[in-house]
Structure 1
Amino acid sequence: MQPSAGPALPHTRARSVHWITTAALIAAVVGSAALVQPAGATTSTPAHAGKRKPAPTADPAPDPRAVRFPLQCAGAPADVVDQASADLDGDGRPETVAAARCHSETGTPPSGLYVLSADPSAGNAPRIVETLVDPGEQRTFQGLRVDGRTVRATVLGYSTDDVPRCCPDQQRDYSWEWRSGTYYEIPGPLAHGM
């Protein structure tokens, strides 16, 4: 081992003032680098920026229990078996999607899937503005939900008239999206043999 060449140099001894000064200089350099951009750099804007988003609304969603559904129930009441609400058409007021069917103590009567909106000309009473699935199609629904402005549900049905109405043997996920003033149906793949 070689002996040192002399006393320690003054700049090799670290003091707290030295570390604080160094940290402040590094912070200043990093901070200024964040503010300065190279020529030609652009700021990225989120995809939703610039699109007009409706202001949050205090309007309540239409109540499906206050609607008379176009069901042929032979005197039995109609049951709302599922519902979901959101502003589907972007007008700043919520709509309600409701699955409704005739009341039955046994079996699974077919359901209709309806979009309800408030009717300003009738004191904001709810009214049906769209039938997404007619009960005449002999369908039932599972997992009704709204994702953003898209309605989604699993639709259950029957491959033939011989399949008992208690036991659907077909299943397909569907989406409905509001486009150009109407709801577009988007079917997923058909699943057989449930």
Structure 2
Amino acid sequence: MQQPAVPELAHTHTRPIHWLATATALAGVVALSSLLQPRTATAAPTPGAETTTVAAPATAGVDFPLDCGPVKAVVAKQATGDLDGDHRPETVAVVHCDAPMGTPPDGVYVLTRASGTGLPRIVATLADPKDRTNVTDIAVRDRAVHGTLLGYSSDDVPACCPDIRQSVKWQWKDGAFVRSTPAQARSV
């Protein structure tokens, strides 16, 4: 008779006592975990909390204060978020004229919903197209508008080639948007 290559190991055979020990250990873990649970979470809001969810205002149909002549105004970029802490999001829109050639300057506008009607309305102009700036990015973070503006150091700089790049931040303080420059302006 041939002997097996691996000797028989007693601990590889399960017996009822093994199953009983496993079941007891598992029951102990379940019982212990039920005692160590965190306080139960509920879906009910805390008293006084805002319970209605309001969508950010849409830009469609808004009459932006741009003089575009025969072409229309185009929303190039937008970002949304609660800028004034009222638990209702505002929309920040970067808008320019839909010019067939060149790079028209951008305007940056803040929209909110009008009281009563709920229709979108412009409440602030953060960057006026008359300033000849273009916006390369825009975002709402930490109740502030963050953006990057391209501009010109003088009227002698051709419109094709902005030579100033500036990071800007607009934050709602004391009833108005205050502009600051988190990073120094630099040449492009």
TM-score (norm 2): 0.71
1:67 counterpart (62, 72, 75): 62
Cα distance in 1 for partners of 2:107, 2:49 equals 30
Q: How does 1:77-96 map to 2 (within 5 A)?
A: 77-96=72-91
**What's the offset of the Cα at 1:106?**
1.6
Q: Deviations over 1:161-193 (max 9, x none)?
A: 22221221111000011111111100231101x
Quick check: 1:108 aligned with 2:106?
no
Q: Percent identity?
A: 42
Cα distance in 2 for partners of 1:162, 1:144 equals 27
Q: Using a 3 Å threshold, how does the CA distance of structure 1 residues 162 and 88 change in structure 2: closer, same or farther? A: same
Aligned match of 1:154: 148
Partner letter of residue 112 of structure 1? G
**What's the offset of the Cα at 1:140?**
0.6
Query: Counterpart of 1:61 in 2: which secondary structure?
Result: coil
Unaligned runs of 5+ in 1: 1-52
Q: Using a 3 Å threshold, how does the CA distance of structure 1 residues 156 and 62 change in structure 2: closer, same or farther? A: same
Aligned match of 2:112: 117
Query: Counterpart of 1:129 in 2: which secondary structure?
Result: strand
Cα distance in 2 for partners of 1:54, 1:158 equals 46
Query: Counterpart of 1:160 in 2: which secondary structure?
Result: coil
Quick check: 1:98 aligned with 2:98?
no
Cα distance in 2 for partners of 1:79, 1:143 equals 16
**What's the offset of the Cα at 1:160?**
1.8
Q: Deviations over 1:72-106 (max 9, x none)?
A: 10121000011000011011111000110100122
Count the aligned residue pairs: 141
Aligned match of 1:19: none
Cα distance in 2 for partners of 1:107, 1:180 equals 38
Cα distance in 1 for partners of 2:102, 2:170 equals 27
TM-score (norm 1): 0.69
Query: Counterpart of 2:60 in 1: which secondary structure?
Result: helix
Partner letter of residue 154 of structure 2? T
Q: Using a 3 Å threshold, how does the CA distance of structure 1 residues 146 and 125 change in structure 2: closer, same or farther? A: same
Aligned match of 1:165: 159
Aligned match of 2:186: 191
